[in-house]
């Protein structure tokens, strides 16, 4: 079998167009959705990620505010910045770029973001609501919007828009990070998959992956998922972005081998990557609307 390619770039562009229309509607009633980012320090990869987020905001008409703090900033100074952004009426969504410097506890900072301005959905209240939800409609049917972590939310959109069913499927998530693995598992559970979360200590990882009808790789190791770990006809979603010595990018999946077994597969680049930013824009627009910009 040669897998059908899931074109993340095309799907992300489609969602961007939908958001552009929503932003125009908001602007015509005098409301400009606003996203504030905070980068502490000068990590080059983080600088690129933040720059790309601002570029995407510009493309669809969201106002974006770029806050930079020196790498030696104290936890107190960063908490003060959070307070200031929480109170700013032009800011509907706040994103703290991770990782933070070692002297700062990321969980304390994420906890200080007002849950109703949480662009990433990493605030414990929002994560808690996601884990507590019986299903996703419950999260969307309340007056209040629960922002969902952008990368897993993007994976869900890729599956839905590619008409890949989730309900009742055996889903295996490889990786247990707060940013991807854990919220991915919660989202898949809320869409009625049977979910297994695996990680570096998992026994029988090969067999476990091979049982997956839906395999999400988010382990951060280039080509970690080999062809023998892919079930015939499975949907394989590769969240990994690993830079090779020659500067090229590899996912967490050995793409060439996996595509011969999978039913669907995401490429790297051009799969999950473009979705993460677009779901950040979607969270920003939804939070803005929930704040009164209907």
- Binding ligand GUN (rule: CB under 6 A), the pick from 73, 97, 198, 284 is 97
- Active-site hit among 81, 117, 118, 120: 120
Kindly state whether residue 95 participates in binding ligand GUN, applying the rule CB under 6 A. Answer: yes
Nearer to ligand GUN among residue 95 and residue 188 (C-beta): 95
Determine, following the binding rule CB under 6 A, whether residue 78 of this chain makes contact with ligand GUN: no
Q: Shortest approach of ligand GUN to residue 275 CB, angstroms?
A: 11
Selected binder of ligand GUN within 166, 179, 237, 272 (CB under 6 A):
179
Nearer to ligand GUN, 230 or 278 (CB): 278
- The two tokens of residue 190 are 């809320």
Q: Give the integer Cα–Cα distance in Å for 49 and 220.
A: 17
Determine what percent of the chain falls in helix, strand and coil, rounding each to the nearest 5: 45, 15, 40
> Per the structure block, which two tokens stand in for 66?
């770029």
Hunting for tokens 């800011």 — which residue is that? 91
Of the listed 97, 182, 223, 259, which one is catalytic?
97
**Segment near ligand GUN (CB under 6 A), from 8-16, 96-104, 232-240, 246-254?**
96-104
Does 98 engage in binding with ligand GUN (CB under 6 A)?
yes
Using the structure block, give the residue that is written with the tokens 């809320």: 190
Show the binding pattern over residues 126-165: x = contacts ligand GUN (CB under 6 A), - = does not: ------------------------xx--------------
> How far is Cα 26 from Cα 159, in angstroms, rounded to an integer?
28
The residue of the chain with the least Cβ separation from ligand GUN equals 98
Binding to ligand GUN by residue 287, rule CB under 6 A?
A: no
Is-catalytic flag, 282? no
- DSSP codes joined into one string, 7-74: -HHHHHHHHHHHHHHHHHHHHHTT---EEEEEEES--HHHHHHHHHHHHHHHHHT-EEEEEEE-TT--
Using CB under 6 A as the binding rule, whether residue 219 contacts ligand GUN is answered as no
Distance, in Å, from the CA atom of 230 to the CA atom of 208, rounded to the nearest integer, reads 10
Tell me the C-alpha distance between 214 and 164, whole Å: 9
Total binding residues toward ligand GUN, as defined by CB under 6 A: 9
Which residues, including other chains, have CB under 8 Å from residue 268's CB and lie 6 or more apart?
238, 240, 241, 249, 250, 251, 253, 255
14 is catalytic: no
Residue 279 CA to residue 285 CA, distance in Å, equals: 10
Catalytic residue check, 120: yes
User: Of the listed 53, 182, 259, 282, which one is catalytic?
Assistant: 53
Contact residues toward ligand GUN (CB under 6 A) are 95-98, 120, 150-151, 179, 276
Q: List, by residue number, the catalytic residues.
A: 53, 97, 120
């Amino acid at each position: 079998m040669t897998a059908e390619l899931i074109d993340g770039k095309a799907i992300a562009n489609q969602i961007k167009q939908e958001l552009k229309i929503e932003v125009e509607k908001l602007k015509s009633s005098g409301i400009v959705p606003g996203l504030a980012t905070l980068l502490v320090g000068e990590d080059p990869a983080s600088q690129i990620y933040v720059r790309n987020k601002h570029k995407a905001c510009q493309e669809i008409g969201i106002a974006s505010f770029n806050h930079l703090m020196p790498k030696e900033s104290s936890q107190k100074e960063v908490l003060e910045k959070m307070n200031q952004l929480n109170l700013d009426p032009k800011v509907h969504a706040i994103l703290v770029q991770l990782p933070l410097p070692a002297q700062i506890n990321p969980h304390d900072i994420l906890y200080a973001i007002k849950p109703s301005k949480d662009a990433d959905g990493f605030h414990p209240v929002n994560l808690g609501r996601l884990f507590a939800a019986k299903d996703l409609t419950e999260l969307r049917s309340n007056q209040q919007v629960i922002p969902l972590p952008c990368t897993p939310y993007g994976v869900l959109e890729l599956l839905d828009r590619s008409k890949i069913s989730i309900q009742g499927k055996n889903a295996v998530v490889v990786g247990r990070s707060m940013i991807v693995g854990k919220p991915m598992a919660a989202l898949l559970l809320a869409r009625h998959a049977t979910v297994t979360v695996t990680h570096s200590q998992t026994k029988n990882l090969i067999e476990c992956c091979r049982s997956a009808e839906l395999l999400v790789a988010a382990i951060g190791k280039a080509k970690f998922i080999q062809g023998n770990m892919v079930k015939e006809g499975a949907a394989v979603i590769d969240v990994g972005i690993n830079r090779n010595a020659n500067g090229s990018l590899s996912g967490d999946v050995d793409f060439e081998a996996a595509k011969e077994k999978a039913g669907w597969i995401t490429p790297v680049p051009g799969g999950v990557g473009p979705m993460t930013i677009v779901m950040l824009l979607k969270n920003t627009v939804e939070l803005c609307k929930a704040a009164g910009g209907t």
